[in-house]
Amino acid sequence: MIREVDGAWQLSATEGDIRSHQPETVRQLIDIQIDRLTPGEQRILEAASAAGAEFICGAVAHALELTVR
């Protein structure tokens, strides 16, 4: 949709193209972002979300049987 041409950025899509790729809901936007994560990142996100809004990274690492560096 955006490309570099002669050192400048140009929009290479029409307004209709952009609208057709626009999520209809916030939930869809979140799902798209989650789908872009690696499987390992998705596991960490899942464990962290189960731990709650505030958590200690060591607890999430322990749940995933990982070590904290």
- In the block, tokens 């189960």 appear at 50
Sequence-separated (6 or more) residues with CB below 8 Å from residue 23: 29, 32
Of 39-43, 47-51, 55-59, highest mean pLDDT: 39-43
pTM over 0.85, yes/no: no
Tokens read off for 22: 């626009």
Going by pLDDT thresholds of 50, 70 and 90, the confidence category of residue 9 is very high
Task: Provide φ and ψ at 29, rounded to 5°.
Answer: -60, -45
Tokens read off for 24: 């209809």
Determine the average pLDDT of the residues in 31-52: 93
Asked whether the predicted pLDDT for residue 33 surpasses 90, the reply is yes
- Distance (Å, rounded) from C-alpha 49 to C-alpha 40? 14
